[in-house]
Amino acid sequence: MTVIEEARRVILVEALALSAMADRIDASFEQAIDLILKSSGRVIVSGMGKSGLVGQKIASTMASTGTPAFFLHPAEGIHGDLGMIMRGDVVIAISNSGETEEILKILPSIKRLGAHLISMSGNPASNLARSSDVFLDVSVSEEACPLGLAPTASTTATLAMGDALAVALLVSRGFKAEDFAIFHPGGSLGKKLILRVDDLMHSGEAIPLVLEDTLMKEALFVITAKGLGVTGVCDSSGALKGVITDGDLRRSLEKGFDILNQHASEIMKHGPLRINRSELAAAALQIMEQRAITSLFVFENDQSPAPCGIIHLHDILKAGIA
């Protein structure tokens, strides 16, 4: 068997394990979700070895999606760290065999501390499964490891069950992108979810605007002075009617048009794109990329005729949104 064939075999074994587990999702899963939602405390995930590594990821995913959670190493737990567990907490204990010594040793203390216990195991008859308030079956028919020794399909199944719990909790709590942003304030992801057009737009005197009857030689001065490569064209009431970019000017001059003594209304493009100040800056970037433009005039709301600002592509990129 070639390495490519072996890789495909591994993926197919793990995919079949996940498919079989999906068919076993039942009332026990609902009970686990209900137990966590009704708890007054946190979710503590615990496991040894590979199960512990999977547990760390599960706890991290839950914590970032609205379910307060952290990982407790069971070996550290039996040497004092069980003090992290409080009445009202829910412990998710992970052991494929259900007989991991370090996990079993902390079970009596979990009960005495008044915490609830959810187990993830591949052995429904194990001591861990029998001691749990809720048992989640993550058994697999075979490991992807050809020796049947290294945890492979079983850890994938456990990780998927953890993701299923985290996402089901997210949906049940009505967790939104704005909530997600609170837990991810750093990096481009956080900025995409937090920064709004209002945070980055130019306003007041910085907005490049001219009237419809403004001569183009004066409009050119506004485009240059404001430094955004564009000017809006408004009627006498201040309503935005069109837009002129430095690209429009360049193309007209290349065609030999004498535009300097024409009025802005004769050169402008009608129906300029717009965005509301409350929209995410990432939404403005998406519009700019789709329409191949570098700026958008900003409005208070959909009904506002006059712009309250302008946002430029450089402002968005400088803020780290890409």
Check whether 26 has a pLDDT greater than 90: yes
> Do 85 and 164 fall within a single domain?
yes
> Do 7 and 92 fall within a single domain?
yes
Six-digit token pair at 108? 């009596």
pLDDT (0 to 100) of residue 214: 93
**What domain range includes position 287?**
197-318
> Do 140 and 97 fall within a single domain?
yes
What DSSP line would sit under 274-307, residue for residue? EEETTSBHHHHHHHHHHHT-SEEEEESSTT--S-
Total domains in the chain come to: 2
Is residue 192 domain-resident? no
pLDDT (0 to 100) of residue 10: 95
CB 320 within 8 A of CB 192: no
pLDDT (0 to 100) of residue 184: 65
- Lowest mean pLDDT segment, chosen from 126-130, 246-250, 295-299: 246-250
> Do 40 and 85 fall within a single domain?
yes
Return the higher-pLDDT residue of 9 and 177: 9
Tokens 């935005």 belong to residue: 240
Is residue 58 domain-resident? yes
Q: What is the pLDDT of residues 34-90, one digit of tens each?
A: 999 999 999 999 999 999 999 999 999 999 899 999 999 999 998 889 999 999 999
pLDDT (0 to 100) of residue 1: 79
pLDDT (0 to 100) of residue 187: 62
Is residue 239 domain-resident? yes
What DSSP line would sit under 2-23, residue for residue? -HHHHHHHHHHHHHHHHHHHHH
Supply the mean pLDDT for the chain.
Answer: 91
Check whether 257 has a pLDDT greater than 80: no
> Do 244 and 170 fall within a single domain?
no
pLDDT (0 to 100) of residue 69: 96
Q: What is the pLDDT of residues 199-222, one digit of tens each?
A: 999 999 999 999 999 998 899 899
Check whether 190 has a pLDDT greater than 70: no
> Do 208 and 170 fall within a single domain?
no
- Lowest mean pLDDT segment, chosen from 28-37, 123-132, 153-162, 279-288: 279-288
Check whether 189 has a pLDDT greater than 90: no
Mean pLDDT of 165-183: 84
Dist CA 269 CA 284 (whole Å): 19
> Do 10 and 115 fall within a single domain?
yes
Is residue 185 domain-resident? no
Q: Report the CATH number that the domain containing residue 58 is assigned in CATH.
A: 3.40.50.10490
Dist CA 295 CA 242 (whole Å): 13
Dist CA 59 CA 174 (whole Å): 19
Dist CA 169 CA 121 (whole Å): 20
Is residue 241 domain-resident? yes
> Do 140 and 206 fall within a single domain?
no
pLDDT (0 to 100) of residue 306: 95
pLDDT (0 to 100) of residue 249: 81
Helix (H, G, I), strand (E, B) or coil at 116: strand
Check whether 149 has a pLDDT greater than 90: no
> Do 139 and 262 fall within a single domain?
no
Six-digit token pair at 4? 């490519």
pLDDT (0 to 100) of residue 259: 79
Mean pLDDT of 241-253: 85
pLDDT (0 to 100) of residue 195: 84
Is residue 256 domain-resident? yes
Return the higher-pLDDT residue of 148 and 230: 230
Return the higher-pLDDT residue of 62 and 148: 62
Q: Report the CATH number that the domain containing residue 300 is assigned in CATH.
A: 3.10.580.10
> Do 168 and 288 fall within a single domain?
no
Is residue 51 domain-resident? yes
Q: Which of 143, 175, 207 represents a domain boundary (last residue)? A: 175
pLDDT (0 to 100) of residue 287: 94
pTM, to two decimals: 0.69
> Do 47 and 165 fall within a single domain?
yes
> Do 155 and 248 fall within a single domain?
no
**At 177, is the pLDDT very low, low, confident or very high (cuts 50, 70, 90)?**
confident
Dist CA 182 CA 164 (whole Å): 22
Is residue 187 domain-resident? no
